[in-house]
Structure 1
Amino acid sequence: MQQNNSRLKIALIQSSLHWENPNANRDMFGNKIEQIEQDVDLIVLPEMFTTGFTMSPANIDIHEGVITLDWMKKIATCKNSAIIGSTVFHDNGNYYNRLLVVKPNGEYESYDKRHTFTLAGEHEKYTAGTERLIVNFRGFAICPLVCYDLRFPVWSRNTENFDVLLYTANWPTPRINAWDALLKARAIENMVYCVGVNRVGIDEVGHLYPGHSSLYDPLGGLISLTEKEETIIVEIEKEKIDLVRKKLRFLNDRDHFTLSN
């Protein structure tokens, strides 16, 4: 694919997951990615796409994070696309809900989920991250975050003039209205495209997931949303971001602040 600095085509893969079975999930997503006939720039997978939202990371072999990273590198090279998703990752004796961004040239960057989900006890099993990540890819600046991060607008705040907020998630049915509302709000307040990729199906502990993977434009307009297991292709335009920000200079009036742990 020729690089296009004005448009970015994104594949959102909404799927059920095999519980704590990295091999089965990699095979499944490999097949789904192989079936993408269009050239895309970016492929986005759900949160913890190799295991489901497990609170038993010790059940997962400590090498699986590296195995998944190597798998993502092969996919990125083969498809000439960047690929994003979070996975259980063991590093220096700690477990992380680590989001990986792998580019076609094999380079990668990572982000450890900042807001671990205390309602499920995630904070007791996984070490929280402390640094936000901004990825520059094919002319777009992307801020990738993970699930519960969506509820915290200060952490999502557009202080670096990025173009895209991207959330990968396991967000259950009882709170899906919040998912929809917050994705829209994050797009509006940050004047960005906002991407959310959720899963579908029922996990091993009985949580039901309704999908609602979606894309909102910089004014909060809904571009695409799906409730079924499928891959949807969406496209974003740099020109639209620039025009909206030039006409409506809301970011110029934003509050300035610093974060401390």
Structure 2
Amino acid sequence: MSRIKLAIVQSPLVWQQPEANCQQLAEHMDSAAGADLYVLPEMFTTGFSMNAEQIAEPMHGPTTRWLLQQSALRNAAVCGSVAIRAAGGVVNRLLFATPDGQLQYYDKRHLFRMGNEHQHYQAGTQRVVVEYLGWRFCLQVCYDLRFPVFARNRQDYDALIYVANWPASRRQVWRTLLQARALENQVAVIGCNRIGSDDNGLEYSGDSLVVDHLGVLLADGADGRDAVLQAELDLSIQQQFQQKFPAYLDADAFSLSGVFDG
């Protein structure tokens, strides 16, 4: 499948109230029927809370069940991150549910130390690429955006997904780096950020973006509205450009132990 329809949910989040957030996010998805992939913000059930032990759910808890139900109901993939209890502690886990009942996940590797995330959550160790409808999506969470080596395309993915609670005070950084990741990797980039305010006193401007492989904005939530941004990507056009302008052939070889294989 070359074309894929996206729905990026740019919404406020109710502080640490999963049921209320799931209800409003479902209503948002209802307003954008027919998408192939719905993207929800980081920690979409709670907001960016450091009350890790209080808010964390088991891997097969109510939120993962809700995601799978939403995916089956809409016959579409649905993804977003949640605080999940894992073997070594709580992780900020980006869940990717598909209508066949599969649930894949990526644990946020770069924890936001300026917000003390590293003191409350366990860092992930692996980069994760999931396949859906002929597309390969590399999953990333918020602060990961600042680390281009981790997101480097080794021709093993077709699009990057970033889910975030990225504050309005650094909105230009968010917007610039999303476009930079698209240009340097020659792939589409999907960035989903929340709006509103949280109990940490932080304001969020949204600025959710869908950027194509040329850095062109296909959808832009700069107005900060509570909305669902929609866009369509065409993999064949992206692949044609990569063949015409194969900059990746001149990339420097390197490896990161525990993240990339040799």
Q: Same fold (TM over 0.5)?
A: yes
Equivalent in 197, 206, 220 of residue 201 of structure 2: 206
For the residue of structure 2 that corresponds to 1:156, the secondary structure is coil
Q: Distance in 1 between matches of 2:60 and 2:82?
A: 7
Q: Provide the residue aligned with 2:110 in structure 1.
A: 115
C-alpha contact 1:65 1:90 (8 A) present in aligned 2: no
Structure 2 residue 113 is the aligned partner of structure 1 residue 155: no
Q: Provide the residue aligned with 1:239 in structure 2.
A: 236
Q: Which amino acid aligns with 2:4?
A: L
Unaligned runs of 5+ in 1: none
Instruction: Out of 212-221 and 54-63, give the one that drifted further.
Output: 54-63
CA deviation after TM superposition for structure 1 residue 92, in Å: 2.5
Q: Which amino acid aligns with 1:233?
A: Q
CA deviation after TM superposition for structure 1 residue 63, in Å: 4.1
Q: Distance in 2 between matches of 1:161 and 1:247?
A: 18
Q: Which amino acid aligns with 1:70?
A: R
CA deviation after TM superposition for structure 1 residue 159, in Å: 1.2
* Runs of at least 4 residues off by over 6 Å: none
Task: Give me the TM-score of the superposition, normalised by structure 1.
Answer: 0.95
CA deviation after TM superposition for structure 1 residue 61, in Å: 5.5
Structure 2 residue 218 is the aligned partner of structure 1 residue 223: yes
For the residue of structure 2 that corresponds to 1:89, the secondary structure is strand
For the residue of structure 2 that corresponds to 1:240, the secondary structure is helix
| RMSD over equivalenced CA pairs, Å | 1.3
Structure 2 residue 42 is the aligned partner of structure 1 residue 52: no
CA deviation after TM superposition for structure 1 residue 219, in Å: 1.3
Aligned residues: 256
Structure 2 residue 175 is the aligned partner of structure 1 residue 175: no
Instruction: Out of 186-195 and 61-70, give the one that drifted further.
Output: 61-70
For the residue of structure 2 that corresponds to 1:100, the secondary structure is strand
Unaligned runs of 5+ in 2: none
Residues 107 and 58 of structure 1: is their aligned pair in 2 closer, same or farther, counting only changes over 3 Å?
A: same
Q: Provide the residue aligned with 1:16 in structure 2.
A: 12
Equivalent in 138, 141, 145 of residue 140 of structure 2: 145
CA deviation after TM superposition for structure 1 residue 91, in Å: 1.9
Percent of aligned pairs with the same residue?
A: 40
Deviations 1:74-114, CA, capped at 9 Å, x for gaps: 00000000001000111225100000000001101110000
Task: Give me the TM-score of the superposition, normalised by structure 2.
Answer: 0.95
Within a 5 Å distance, the mapping from 1:56-67 to structure 2 comes to 56-60=51-55, 62-63=57-58, 66-67=61-62
Q: Which amino acid aligns with 1:123?
A: H
Q: Distance in 2 between matches of 1:207 and 1:7?
A: 37
Q: Provide the residue aligned with 2:29 in structure 1.
A: 33
Q: Which amino acid aligns with 1:191?
A: Q
Residues 63 and 135 of structure 1: is their aligned pair in 2 closer, same or farther, counting only changes over 3 Å?
A: closer
Q: Provide the residue aligned with 2:253 in structure 1.
A: 256
C-alpha contact 2:56 2:84 (8 A) present in aligned 1: no
Q: Distance in 2 between matches of 1:215 and 1:15?
A: 16
Q: Which amino acid aligns with 1:36?
A: A
Q: Distance in 2 between matches of 1:206 and 1:90?
A: 26
Q: Which amino acid aligns with 2:236?
A: E
Equivalent in 64, 69, 73 of residue 68 of structure 2: 73
C-alpha contact 2:56 2:83 (8 A) present in aligned 1: no
CA deviation after TM superposition for structure 1 residue 65, in Å: 6.4
Instruction: Out of 232-241 and 145-154, give the one that drifted further.
Output: 232-241
